[in-house]
Amino acid sequence: MDTLKELVTIVNRKRLSKIDVFDKALLSQSASNLYYKLYEGLESGKITDDASAASYIYGSDDKDAKYRKLKSRFKNKLQKTLLLLDTEEVFINNQSRAYYECLLNSQIIEIIIKITGTTKLVYELAKENYSKAEQYNFNEILKNYSYYLLSYYAIIGDQKSFSKEEQLYLKYLDLSQKEQYAKFLYFKASIKFENQAPITDALIEEVRVDVEALNKLRLELQNIEIDFYYFFLALDFYQRSNQINKLIEVSNSAEDIMTLKPSAFTYTRKTIIYIYKLAALLSNKQYDEVKNIFNNIEQLNVPEGNYNWYLLQDIHFKTYLQCNDIENATKIYETVVNGKSFKRQNEKVQEKWIIYHAYLVFMDNYIHHGDYKFSLAKFINTVPVNSRDKSGFNFAIRIIEILFNAARNDFELIFLKMDALRIYKSRYLNDNTYKRNHILLNLLLKAEKSGFSHKVLVNADWKEITDIRKQNANIVAEWEIMPYEILWDIFVEFTKKE
């Protein structure tokens, strides 16, 4: 009862009357309720930026003082309401719920300390959630709880309890510092990959050292959260260093943890693991395994239009295309481009699917002996962003141009493009990710020297032909929509003039 008395003193009537959060009343639909109008506009997609918000609510522009004041108050209410969410509805597993509750409790204690100092109420609130934090190894929160107890024991002069708690505090302080350092290693290594610098052997070696250090820490800490920091970094590392089998091994380890420890499960985590694993299996041309995963992937509940949903559709589309299953590849393509969210995606995403469509049309014509009717000029005009980007999908654009021209027996036009490709190769493909691009370009340049002679090409024993057929010798990047060795064979076939 003493605890309740102290809480009522802190949460007094005056303070209650000024609580500024969202509730059902604030979200009731009425012409005068501008909070509801702003909320509904954002939720429905009618509002996409400040300009559309100001116009929708006030019929003015985003510099309108009334709009700016409403936006500020709306944001404050939303932020404070975060502290009142129903954990059963928000979080899908016990660990997430427990973390939210322990973190919230820790923040409440901090607020109470600022208002009333370290009283018995602080002691009781810290003890109340201590065991829950211990159960899930929330070391950062345990460090705080232990510190609150030490402060209370010091104030009341309880030396025995202080000495006992001191050992725990030092333990959690050490573990929380190691956890933070483990997270630092993750971000330190990740930013190296996200930087625009080329992915070189030297950079791969730098990141390898960080991956090993993070793995050593996570094995010491035995903390699920740090496990997943390691998994995500290791997956990225093994993908970029083209260690496909290691990537699949790490994916399987992460899946095992989520199966054995349901508290580690989240849909986002599992989706990310699947995306890496599926990309690796696709790179290995293990098409049946990819299809089998997709047949059972509905359990992930990835919302259509979500970023990860688009990544999954990329892999699914390429799987069917590489299996020459034009019907199913077309179904996936149409599902994506006709989806409600497609037009809201950035230009690069939209253009990527335009490029996919060009390959789909090409392979459809190749498989079904079509006439290769396709407007390359119109195609180039619809992918300006990727056309200007001198790496990545720009290469996919250049290759599909060459293939359509070869299919139409227009080798004179291909001859005219080769000088530009020679310059392109020397300037823009200096990253480990582009090694297969290099190999294919070298083959095309050698083919040019032969005058695109079918007799020479079909009997050639060039090293590049062996290299391009080697499984997992080099990274298969996302813009390799069809395997380059297949495209090379098709190109050689086209040089056989009727």
Q: List CB contacts of 478: < 8 A, sequence separation 6 or more.
A: 279, 314, 392
The DSSP string of 97-112 is HHHHHHHHHHHHHHHH
pLDDT given for residue 498 in this prediction: 47
Kindly tell me if the per-residue pLDDT of 187 is higher than 70: yes
230-257 residue pLDDT tens? 999 999 999 999 999 999 999 999 999 9
413-458 residue pLDDT tens? 888 888 777 777 666 666 777 889 889 999 999 999 999 999 999 9
Instruction: With 0.85 as the threshold, say if the pTM is over it.
Output: no
128-158 residue pLDDT tens? 889 999 988 899 999 999 999 999 999 999 9
Kindly tell me if the per-residue pLDDT of 16 is higher than 60: no
Helical residues (DSSP H) of 391-473, grouped into ranges = 393-407, 411-428, 435-449, 454-459, 463-469
Percent of the chain with pLDDT over 90: 52
The token duo for 478 is 């996302």
Angle between helix axes 65-81 and 34-44 (nearest 10 degrees) is 80
Q: Report the mean per-residue pLDDT for the chain.
A: 87
With vertex at residue 349, the alpha carbon angle to CA 345 and CA 354, rounded to the nearest 5 degrees, is 115
Kindly tell me if the per-residue pLDDT of 196 is higher than 60: no
301-357 residue pLDDT tens? 788 888 899 999 999 999 999 999 999 999 999 999 999 899 889 898 999 999 999
Burial 7-23 (b: 16+ CB within 10 A, else e): eeeeeeeeeeeeeeebe
Kindly tell me if the per-residue pLDDT of 197 is higher than 80: no
